[in-house]
Amino acid sequence: MYLIYIVKIIATKPNYITEDQLNLEKREKEIPEDIKKKIKDELFKRPNEKYPFPLTQSQEIGWDVCPQLNMGKRRAKKTCDVTRYADEYYSLKGVSPFATKSISKGEATSIAK
């Protein structure tokens, strides 16, 4: 006579955390500051500082460009007469001169019905 045992294996829930994983998370939080700084420095390096040559064709463009390019100071554009008019109109009336006609309360209630 043979005995047959049926074993059903049920996977754990995806959000279930074992004690080993919990201990691992605690250990990860205890990373020394000097190692954290080295990791952060490595993450923020430019690709040409990390690798000796471009890894993709798109990296070939601008690979040897110096990062210290000075684009010069940017100045705000001077305002034109239309912009000055609109600013003055808005400061006096509180409404943009380019806004569409506003609907009065009476018209709004009749539209809503």
pLDDT in tens, the chain (113 residues): 677 777 777 777 777 777 777 776 666 667 788 888 888 888 888 888 888 888 888 888 877 776 555 566 667 777 788 888 888 998 998 888 888 766 555 554 445 45
Range of the domain at 28: 22-58
Number of structural domains (the chain) is 1
Handedness of CA 70, 75, 77, 78 (dihedral sign): negative
Q: Write out the two tokens for 95.
A: 């409404």
Predicted TM-score (pTM) of the model is 0.30
d(CA 30, CA 11): 31
Residue 35: inside a domain? yes
Copy the structure tokens of residue 106: 């009476």
- 50 occurs within a structural domain: yes
3 inside domain: no
What is the reported pLDDT for 67? 58
43 assigned to some structural domain: yes
Does a structural domain hold residue 81?
no
